[in-house]
Structure formats: C-alpha cells, structure tokens
Structure 1
Amino acid sequence: MIPEHWSPHHREEDGEVLGYLRPEPGGHVPLTPFGHPVTGPLPEAEARAALDNLGLSYLAGPWLLTLPHREEPITVRILEVTPERMRVANADYGYEAADIGHVFVLDVPEPGRLRAAGP
C-alpha cells in the first residue's frame, strides 16, 4: 500500500497518476506508481517535471525481477499497477520454472526486487 506521506502526481490532461513524490531531506524523490525512484531528491517542481517527462513510458520496457531461489533475475513486463499491488508477466525464455506469460503479483511499493533492464 502506498504510504500516506507520498504525494500523488497526476497527469494534467486526464488525471492519470504518473507517480508519487516522497519527501526527503533535500527535496522530493519522484517515484513510479509502484515506488521505483526516477531520480534522487529534487525541488518539488523539478520532481513533478521528471514524472511528467517519464509519463507512463516505464510500462513499455522490460524489467528484471529478482527471485529468492534464483541467482540471476528474470525478464518481466509490467501488466498492471494499483496502489496495493502490481502484476508482471514472465518474458524470460531462459526461466524454465514458469511459462512465458506467467504472472507474478508483487506488493506496492515494490521493495527492490524489480529494476529496469538495460542502461
């Protein structure tokens, strides 16, 4: 569940939640809707601009999910994010323990098992 002290940031055109601002010393950390930091602490206006610039593009890219019984993370795609949980689908052909498309349900905010793939 999203902590109460995180402030939601909505897209101006349609009110869609683009992420949250987490207050910290030195500013606000812009976070994806599942709690992944976009940058470090920034002044509030810059943190909001970072979320506006990111939009929902994070949904299109692959992510890496760390599993407790596996040394290497697996590639997943984000299917859905709510303030309580997120669903990601296995997209890793080298992961034999689950079929492609197998859905993993993660808590939100996601505690660090998920990271963006690539640079």
Structure 2
Amino acid sequence: MIPPAWQECLRPDDDERVGYLVPAGEVFIPVTLIGTPLGEAQGRAAAAALLHERGLMTLNGRWWCLLPEMLLGTETDPRQPQLSWEWRSVLIVEASPEECRVRLEMPAEEERTSTVTLPVPVGELLRARQP
C-alpha cells in the first residue's frame, strides 16, 4: 500500500497517474507506480517533470524477480523465497497502489498463464533491468 505521505503525480493532459513524489525535507524523490526511485531528491517541479517524462516508460521492459525454477499458477509468494529460487526476468502486467502483477518474460509452455502478485511498494522484490 502506498504510504499516505507519498503524493500522486498526475500527467497534466489526461490526469493519468505517472508516479509519486516522496517528500524528503524541502525536496522530493520521484518514485514509480511500483515504488522504485526514479531519480535523486530534487525540487518538486523537476521531480514531477521526470515522472511525466519517464515514469510510465520505466515500468516497460525487463525486471528481475526471485522466483522458483518452475512457476505454476498464481499462488507463489515472492515474500517467502526459498533457497532454490533464482532471479528470473519478468514483465510488469499491472500496477495499482496496492499491488503489482508480473509474468515471466520468457515462460516455458506450462508457465504461460502464471503470474505473481507483489505488494506495492515492491522494495527489494523486484530489481530493475540493467541499462
């Protein structure tokens, strides 16, 4: 669940939520819809501009999630990782203030309909792709 102190950042032309502004004293940290920092703490206008420009785009593409070798169904709880799990590439399929759903980027045939639900903010449960 998004902390109450986080302020929604809406795109001005259509009011689409593009992220959050997290107060850090007199500056703000721009944070994506899933709670990952998008940049350094900065003035409100600069942080909002960064979210308008890259907030949604940042969620597109490969992320990494610690998951079992075979992911079947929707019951896997990534908050309870097992020693045998490894970092697997995933894509974000849905993000809300409460949760984020991901699916494997390259699933085996039997994994194609499997998804994993993560709490938002995702914290260390997801790692951003490397540039």
Question: Normalization by structure 2: what TM-score?
Answer: 0.79
List runs of 5+ in structure 2 lacking aligned partners.
68-80
Q: CA shift at 1:118, angstroms?
A: 2.2
Contact 1:6 1:20 in 2 (8 A): yes
Residue 58 in 1 paired to residue 58 in 2?
Answer: yes
Contact 1:7 1:22 in 2 (8 A): yes
CA RMSD, aligned part only?
Answer: 1.9
Q: CA shift at 1:55, angstroms?
A: 3.9
What does residue 22 of structure 1 align with? Answer: 22
Q: CA shift at 1:99, angstroms?
A: 1.2
Q: CA shift at 1:21, angstroms?
A: 0.6
Alpha-carbon distance in 2 for matches of 1:25, 1:115: 27
What does residue 123 of structure 2 align with? Answer: 111
Contact 2:32 2:55 in 1 (8 A): no
Contact 1:90 1:101 in 2 (8 A): no
Moved beyond 2 Å, runs of 4+: 69-72
Q: CA shift at 1:25, angstroms?
A: 3.6
Q: CA shift at 1:26, angstroms?
A: 5.7
Contact 2:38 2:55 in 1 (8 A): no
Contact 1:19 1:33 in 2 (8 A): yes
1:88-107 matches, within 5 Å, as 88-93=102-107, 99-107=111-119
What does residue 77 of structure 1 align with? Answer: 91
Letter in structure 2 aligned against 1:72: E
Residue 33 in 1 paired to residue 33 in 2?
Answer: yes
Alpha-carbon distance in 2 for matches of 1:112, 1:62: 15
Contact 1:62 1:75 in 2 (8 A): yes
Q: CA shift at 1:58, angstroms?
A: 2.2
Question: Normalization by structure 1: what TM-score?
Answer: 0.87
What does residue 76 of structure 2 align with? Answer: none
Q: Deviations over 1:72-118 (max 9, x none)?
A: 3110000000111111001245xx7x714420000011122112112
Number of residue-to-residue matches in the alignment: 116
List runs of 5+ in structure 1 lacking aligned partners.
none
Alpha-carbon distance in 1 for matches of 2:37, 2:59: 15
